[in-house]
Structures are given as C-alpha cells and as structure tokens.
Amino acid sequence: METGHLEVALIKVGEALIYVPADEDGLWINKTVAGAMNGRDSEDMRNGFTTALFNSRGVHTVDPSGKPETDLAEKYEKKAEDVENAGFHRLAVTLRGLSESYNRQAERVKADFGKDEGE
C-alpha cells in the first residue's frame, strides 16, 4: 500500500540538497548529487530543491525596478547553463523554471509600481 511518504521524503531530501558543496572540478554543485537529481524518477527531489532555493531568499524589500528579481533570474539561468553543459538536462530545466519565475516576478513588480496611485 502506498502511503505517500516516499514523495514527501524525496521532497525533503531535495530541500536539503541546496547545501551540498561544489564539485571538485568547479561545478557549483556536486556531480553525484546533480546526477541523482537529474534522474527521470527524481522530479520530487528537484521540486524540493527548487522550493528550498526559492525560500532561501528569505525576507526582502521590494525594489520597484525589479532588479533583485532580474539578478536572481540571471543567477539561476547561469546555474542551469552550467549543469546542462555538465550533462544534467532535467536539473537544468528545473533551474530554468526558477529563473523564469523570477523574471515574471520582476515584470509584476515593475507593472505594479509603474501604475498611478489612483488606479
């Protein structure tokens, strides 16, 4: 009987993996860990990883320019490129999703702060 515990456990493992050190060859994440998260059946781990990265930003103030969100989008796009070049395509897709999320946030911030006060 499936209880759903495995899914939750894999999400929690993914959340913890944001603290994994860089690989010895200079890749920003350990390649063994990247390989585990890149697996076809590792979507739950990747989801937990992404959620933890998003939450790691913590409390922040809103900059009407959207620059902090744009900077984060660029950071995660670069990380996606790095892992894709190392052969971890599914992990790259996940990180690109996070990057796109920050780009959308930047656009929303700019749109919200660009409105007149009377609107």
Q: What is the pTM of this model?
A: 0.89
65-110 per-position pLDDT tens digit: 999 999 999 999 999 999 999 999 999 999 999 999 999 999 999 9
In the structure, what pLDDT confidence band is assigned to residue 113 with cuts at 50, 70 and 90? confident
| DSSP codes joined into one string, 48-98 | HHHHHHHHTT-S-PPPTT-HHHHHHHHHHHHHHHHHHHTT-HHHHHHHHHH
Instruction: Examine the pLDDT at 119 and tell me if it is beyond 90.
Output: no
pLDDT for res 97 = 98
Contact residues for 79 (Cβ-Cβ < 8 A; gap 6+): 28, 29, 95
32-58 per-position pLDDT tens digit: 999 999 999 999 999 999 999 999 999
Task: Write down the domain spans for the chain.
Answer: 5-114
